[in-house]
Amino acid sequence: MSAKVEIYYWTTCPFCTRALKLLDRKGVAYTGYDITGDEDARAKMVERTGGPRTVPQIFINDKLIGGCDDIHELDYDGKLDAMLA
């Protein structure tokens, strides 16, 4: 069974692009929510994150893991693959 991965992103955000590329490189199936310029969608994201408004916001199995730096740190530390399994 693979993890449920969701990412909120803007198409113009370089951090979002970097996080998406990491997921793609790992062959992860994910649900992406393009909230570019959509304040209603952003408000829903903020409600779900409990406060953070920046993008990307990444969830694995409904748990917020954070943004671009956070997912890359998990990968660097060797923890991401286990979370995605």
Structure confidence at residue 21 (pLDDT): 98
Say how far apart CA 68 and CA 20 lie, in whole Å.
9
Domains of the chain, with CATH numbers?
A: 5-84 (3.40.30.10)
At CA 63, angle to CA 58 and CA 69, rounded to 5? Answer: 35
Instruction: Output the CA–CA distances (angstroms, integers) from residue 56 to 1, 34, 53, 69, in the order listed.
Output: 25, 10, 9, 10
Residue whose C-alpha is closest to residue 53's, from 10, 6, 4: 10
**pLDDT digit string (tens) for 29-65?**
999 999 999 999 999 999 999 999 999 999 999 999 9
Q: CB of 19 within 8 A of CB of 58?
A: yes
Q: Considering the entire predicted model, what is its pTM?
A: 0.95
Say how far apart CA 79 and CA 26 lie, in whole Å.
13
